[in-house]
Structure 1
Amino acid sequence: MPLDISWFLFLGLLLLSAAVLRTYLKPLPVTSSLTYFIVGMAVGPYGLKLITIDALEHVKWLEVVTEVAVVVSLFTAGLKVHIRSTAHLWSSPTRLATIGVAISVFLFALFTHYVFALSWGLAILLGAILSPTDPVLASDVQVEEVHDNDKVRFTLTGEACLNDGTAFPFVMLGLGLLGLHDLGEGGLNWIFVDVIWSSVVGLGVGYGLGYLVGKLVLYIRNSKVEEIQADEFLALGLIATSYGVALAFHSYGFLAVFAAGFALRSFDKKKEAAVKEEGKEVSYDPDAVLSFNEQLERILEIVVVVLFGSLFQLSYFNWASVGGALVLIFIIRPISAYFSIGIGTDFNRLQKTYIAWFGVRGVGSLYYFFYATSHGLDLTTAQLVLGITYVSILLSMILHGFSVTPLMSFYRKRV
């Protein structure tokens, strides 16, 4: 069969299957991501060989693909979590994304330095790559829609949105200790630029642009006779603009796109209520923006996870990669979570246990690996990091994927 015909059939069957997959898999202890992974393996080098990609030869475009997937997912999550934007509720995800990430990086660096004899720079870099939880693959444990008021889901969603940005300074620290990034005299450049400036400016740029775009669009749409129906362009435009402006200011684009989505939705609800009170018709529907982004997020999830499956290599599996992944999932994640939210929060023991367990690793870690590799990691080092990263993501996908349905079902009955 000609290759182009095979591709059309593959893509058609994949998208048709994805359309009905979630409905049939929902009651089963398996996630759609696991199915996409199996499809990726089936069309990769170990199967039909429709996709033959070397992760270390195609670093730049794989970095872009994973980057886009994370960016869209973060913006979508920002649109979802706005309605519970109180300082008290944001305390727990902020702790997990700051204290939790720092503890996770530190503990994993200690483990890999003393057990695997990695240099401190490489150990910190590896810990940073694996520290963020995932906004793409962890959708089954995150807020389901805007009015989802569950504290555990909100915390896991907020954590995944923030720690994709808060892990970045530790990635830069690891690269700096490896001689691939300028940390400045005494680390001052890292502290003031990589930690403070990039984080604060990223959040500020994103929130400011989200607010301004929301205000402008609502004004235009409620002052014109004809409605403007272009929610898709609004979403894509704001994502690209906030991300681009943040990068132009040498700040973290991940934090910017999340803040942009958060600001757009938060601003919208207040203004929408005011407009309705005046008896005007509101033509701007934020739910349409959210719906479009959710569809785009699902498509990107399919693309990334199928690619991830096609990258599968048996050589990734060794005592170091499997041991590191198990330590990360069963020891380091629970410790970092309990130290972050164990004191000063109103979670009960069951809720803390669920938060500690569902630290899903995924596309964010893949992106950080490709980012670090494109910044000068040598081939031997990159192969080592890729093996540990790949196995950690895969084991997380399997363990959390098979446990999410029964555990969340049990949780709903108890709460």
Structure 2
Amino acid sequence: MFRPIDDLQDNNRNIILLLATVLILSLATNLLASLLFKMINNLFVIIILCLISLLFGILLLKNIYFSHHKYVIRLYGGYWYNLKSKELEKVSISGYEFNNDFHRYLFSFLNENKAFKNIFEKNKKGITINKSSFDPTIKDKLTILRSTLEVVVLDFLQLHLNSYFIKNEINDFEIIKITRDNLDPSILKNRVLDSITKDMDEREAFINDNSTSLKEKNCSVVYSMSKNGIFYNRLEIELPSGTTIHRNNEGFIEIDNKLFKLTIVPIVEGYSSIVSSVLFEDGNYKCGENISLNLEVQIKRSFIIPKKSIQVYQWLDSFLQAIEEYISIDKLEKKMKVDVLQLIIKNLKSSNNIFIQNNNSKIVNTAHKSRIAKTPDDIPVNKKWDVGGNSSKMLF
């Protein structure tokens, strides 16, 4: 489990010990220098030794203060759906909320943007996929899926941050709120995000809808869904003051502040994802789109930071843990105890087979007995045989 901020605090404690060690060594060096001066009686040599020691101390301090620790977290997930009658249908997977949320945003975007729906249905996935960059303005199926993944991650992030800051009673002056209005224009190049967060007054699906009337009454709408499944998300991300959200030169979203930089890399690899068949709610196994996410964290500064000041940034640790539980198929299968479910199903099938075999064997035995010819000794005493010619008959 990755916990960059906790690691940073551990480093801070190590730095204190290191500085104490350096102080003791400097005192020892001073005594040694005094002794050497008396022995050598050469001031030039002493100055050279002192400069070498000073240079070593500066390099050590530079490595400590400006050290950049980098973490790369790879999460393997998936999205399952059916395309029937040109309608996108969700495939339900027990315990996998990521699949439900992904479907909600993708379904909304495609049904509100018919041109992109046609692209999604007809466009074949490419064989070669460029994972080192992302251009959300490209019109193809892979870009639609990658853009949807960005939206799902940002939505999960905003919910997590809101919960974290309330739970830890972070002061409002330590937080900034980033909405669509003050979002960097490069972020809105994501067509799915632009569509989902666009004002309801500008969207035909919400005209004369209850959500629109609520807004006219000055009610603040955070989420809303129209009757035909079109979704609205206001998107309000709370972050530590001084934090920015933008796209880097490779086109990936970066959340940047004075302590760390978080890069969100959406990946759709163009092949199927696999999850245990016991988790499909309809009992039928299906292949899904392989959806992966790289989260790259770079710690900018590893110097002494007060615990009170670092708390506003500590959401990163809990976010990395929560999103792993949210997306990872491995975590899903462990949470749902798939190995136990498979063993139960195997035992049930085995018991059922034994039951069927026993019943079949009873049927066979009964049929075998019914085919045994009866002899005259088996005939009841009140019945007799009349034998004549080449045939025989029983008289009652």
Q: TM-score range with shorter-chain normalisation?
A: under 0.3
**Structure with greater proportional helix content:** 1
Relative contact order, higher structure (CA 8 A, sep 6+): 1
Q: TM-score, normalised by structure 1?
A: 0.24
The structure with more radius of gyration: 2
**Structure with greater proportional strand content:** 2
